[in-house]
Amino acid sequence: MEARTSKPLLDEQFSDLYRSHLRDVYSYAYYRVGNHHDAEDITEQTFLQAYRHFERARRESDGRPLRPWLIRIAHNLAANHYRDRSRRPQTNLEDATRLSAVHATEDVVEGREELAAILDGVAALPGDRRDALIMRFALDMDNREIARALGRSEGATKVLIHRAIRQLESSLKAGDGHE
Amino acid sequence: MSDLERRLRFALAPVEPPLALTDRFERTLTELTDAAAEELADWELRAMRDPRNWVRPAAALLVGGVAGGTLIVVQARQRQRRRRPRGLRGLERRVRDTAGSAMKAVRR
């Protein structure tokens, strides 16, 4: 039988997890839902769920990073968010706010349309392809981490990302990704 | 890295969460923890209204009562022993008591 970690130590470890991955969870949620308000809700709910199951997750992780687990929680919450409220991802709202908040002003002025086309193209991809690209490029997760977050094999994840990039490339060339 | 991948990395730059989010999370977590503690306390009180849940506390009370009673008896005996004089003073007191009893018997 494994020894249980003391509550103060567990809380301290959870605080470290929170500090280390708050930006990742928020970025993922933001690119999934397309607005700050819902991204905040999903981020908060993700960490509340993580807090409830933290001890068990730590025990079962065998020392592996917990980031994929956190992102998987956010991923499921984002899916429920649309299901519960019959919403679709808001791909082109807050464009001005989003682009100016995330990117430096001079870059935005130069490539504003291109950025919007890419973001819309990503948002228009099928669910897992879109999510894999967000994890790869916004969170800089490797194939193994993405595989764990999506509950797939590493091989399947590599193929998924490859196909997502090809599809996005085609849609951008055809002008489908941007209205 | 292809040109599209570079553009993707740029387009999907990490987003900084608002500072207020951490305060909000801490507040929610504290409220939930407090609510859970209250819920647990209520549950314990409710559980105590059910006689089936009295066995353990009653047993604990019984054991505690017996232990308390035993303690009182032990302490009383210790006090009694402390009050009983020993040595010459004790002998003197016992002789005086015996003489007193004999005098009472003679007077009767």
Across the range A67-71, mean pLDDT stands at 96
Is A1 within the bounds of a domain? no
Helix (H, G, I), strand (E, B) or coil at A103: coil
Q: Which one-letter amino acid corresponds to residue A44? A: E
Cβ contact B15–A23 (<8 Å): yes
Q: Could you say which of A33, A55, A90 is where a domain stops? A: A90
- Sequence spans of domains, chain B: 18-107
Give the pLDDT band (50/70/90) at residue A62: confident
* Terminal alpha carbon distance of chain A: 59
What residue numbers bound the domain in which A116 lies?
105-179
Q: Could you say which of A61, A90, A119 is where a domain stops? A: A90
Is A98 within the bounds of a domain? no
Is A145 within the bounds of a domain? yes
Is A59 within the bounds of a domain? yes
Same-domain pairing of A119 and A80: no
Q: For residue A53, is pLDDT > 80?
A: yes
What's chain B's Rg over C-alpha atoms? 39
ipTM value > 0.95: no
pTM score: 0.68
How much is the pLDDT for B70? Answer: 45
Indicate which CATH number applies to the domain containing A120: 1.10.10.10
A40 to chain B: closest CA residue: B21
Same-domain pairing of A77 and A148: no
Same-domain pairing of A85 and A13: yes
Contacts for A45 with CB less than 8 Å, ≥ 6 apart: A77
Minimum-distance CB partner of A48 among B4, B12, B28: B28
Minimum-distance CB partner of A23 among B5, B10, B16: B16
Summarised one tens digit per residue, pLDDT across range A105-160 is 555 555 778 888 999 999 999 999 999 999 999 999 999 999 999 999 999 999 99
How much is the pLDDT for B107? Answer: 60
Same-domain pairing of A61 and A127: no
Indicate which CATH number applies to the domain containing A57: 1.10.1740
Summarised one tens digit per residue, pLDDT across range B34-74 is 777 777 777 777 777 777 766 665 665 555 555 544 444 44
C-alpha distance from A60 to closest chain B C-alpha (Å): 24
Pairwise CA distance, residues A29 & B5, whole Å? 21
Pairwise CA distance, residues B53 & B44, whole Å? 10
Contact A27, A73 (CB under 8 A): no
Domains: count for chain A? 2
